[in-house]
Amino acid sequence: MGGSSLNKPELIIDGKRRDGRSFRDLRPIKIEASVLKNAEGSAYIEWGRNKILAAVYGPREATPKHMANPNKAIIKCRYQMAPFSSLEGHSRTGPNRRATEISKVIKEVFENVVMVNEFPGSEIDVFIEVLQGDGGTRAAGLTAASVAMANAGIRMKDLVYAVSAGRIGDHVAIDFDMIEDNYSDADMPVAVAPRNNDVLLLQMDGGFTKEQFAEAKELILEAGKTISEIQKDALKRVYDVKGASE
């Protein structure tokens, strides 16, 4: 969305996408958990050309104090793109309006799944730093933050994943890269709790008919199985007892 119609590249060549993927193929995803020493939990994700770090601090005393909730932990989230992260020129450091909105909707996801009642008066901070962005950074960042939250040992109802579905012409497809995203006809990032497939984050713009929305749902739930496995595998690799037999 948002790209000018001038210079629009061919997004579909011989029924395949520019990078050879079919409409239901995800880009390659790699997650590594526990990558930062100081954070209680962390994860690094490479999702296509996206490179994103997520870290969780807390539960710790809520600041400022008047923000503290005597019944539960408050969640804070900061999603940010590094000034050098995009193919375009240098961007200003610090949260812009887009990042503020993304931080808000990601925060709301963790308010749902984290067992906030276990930590009254405290705060849990989620930091998502996009080091290199190539489309779908909020989904990739949220997927990584979910692993970081588990890595912090903070109890959750579920290990949430996120992915974006969209439309190119008549084709509903999953996981757009930056160029597809810029010239697509619809884009819909979604976060799902895999235990019951409840939707915890939903944003969308462009144009979807009812039928295309239903098709996007199918693609998201199918891709979610793959993403969930990659998340669990990243955690297993951290907690497998290394060298137990030595």
Partner 1 sequence: MNAIDVVKVGYIRELLAKGVREDSRGLMDQRPITVSCDVIDNAEGSAQVDMGSTRVLAGVKFVLEDTKPDTPNMGNLVMSAELLPLANADYEPGPPSPDAIELARVVDRGIRAGNCVKLESLFVGEGKAWTAYIDIYVLNYDGNLFDASSIAAMAALMSSKIPGVKDGAADYGSRSSPVKAENIVTSTTFGKIGDKILFDMTGNEETAADARVTIETDGSSIRAMQKGLSGSFSFDELERLVAESMSRHEGLKKLIEDSIRK
What does DSSP assign to residue 89? S
Q: Do residues 134 and 178 lie in contact, with contact meaning Cβ atoms separated by under 8 Å?
A: yes
Decide whether 83 or 207 has the Cβ nearer to partner 1: 207
Decide whether 32 or 198 has the Cβ nearer to partner 1: 198
Decide whether 38 or 196 has the Cβ nearer to partner 1: 196
Long-range contacts of 1-9 (CB under 8 A, 24+ apart): 1/181, 1/182, 1/184, 1/185, 1/186, 1/187, 1/205, 1/206, 2/182, 3/182, 3/183, 8/183, 9/179, 9/183
User: Least distance to partner 1 from the beta carbon of 174, Å?
Assistant: 15
User: Least distance to partner 1 from the beta carbon of 36, Å?
Assistant: 26
User: Least distance to partner 1 from the beta carbon of 193, Å?
Assistant: 7
Q: Is residue 64 reached through a cis peptide bond, with omega within 30 degrees of 0 on the bond before it?
A: yes
* CB-facing half-sphere around the CA of 185: CA atoms within 13 A: 13
Q: Do residues 76 and 82 lie in contact, with contact meaning Cβ atoms separated by under 8 Å?
A: no
Interacting residues with partner 1 (CB under 8 A): 1, 3-4, 6, 97-98, 100-101, 103-105, 108-109, 111-112, 186, 188, 193, 196-210, 213-214, 217, 221
User: Least distance to partner 1 from the beta carbon of 244, Å?
Assistant: 39
- What is the enclosing helix (H) or strand (E) of 234? helix 210-239
Decide whether 33 or 220 has the Cβ nearer to partner 1: 220
Decide whether 60 or 98 has the Cβ nearer to partner 1: 98
User: Least distance to partner 1 from the beta carbon of 203, Å?
Assistant: 5
Radius of gyration for the alpha carbons in the chain, expressed in angstroms and rounded: 18
Decide whether 4 or 38 has the Cβ nearer to partner 1: 4
User: Least distance to partner 1 from the beta carbon of 201, Å?
Assistant: 6
Q: Do residues 129 and 36 lie in contact, with contact meaning Cβ atoms separated by under 8 Å?
A: no
